[in-house]
Amino acid sequence: MLKAATILYIPSLSKRAFWDTDLNTLDLDRHSRFIIIRVFERGNAKDKEAITQYYGEGKIVATLLEADSLLPVAIESAKKMFHLSDKDFACYTKKPLPLSYSKY
């Protein structure tokens, strides 16, 4: 009896989101936070679909909700995809650091 080979799914990501990064140097597990945030901020719909299939909805939602900052486009996309509200995101609920200006 032959065992079925385990097929490892590796997402195919566009250069649109990673124009400044060599995709071959990214470790999908070690750099997951960077990849998820970058795809939601700069990627296209296929990129979002690919990482959702790879990481799963739970990991993506947790990463986006815990992020200290996100571009508005990432927040809006995540809200639509995962039925979230502004209040769910830590970047909306954390108090920003006050600006300090030195006087000359």
Q: What is the mean pLDDT of each successive set of 10 residues along the chain, which is 104 residues long?
A: 52 87 88 96 94 96 95 95 93 66 53
What is the pLDDT, as a whole number, of residue 5?
45
pTM as predicted: 0.80
Q: What's the confidence (pLDDT) of residue 49?
A: 94
What pLDDT does residue 12 have?
Answer: 85
Structure token pair of residue 36 = 């998820």
SS (H, E, C) the chain: CCCCCCCCCCCCCCCCCCCCCCHHHCCCCCCHHHHHHHHHHHCCHHHHHHHHHHHCHHHHHHHHHHCCCCCHHHHHHHHHHHCCCHHHCHHHHCCCCCCCCCCC
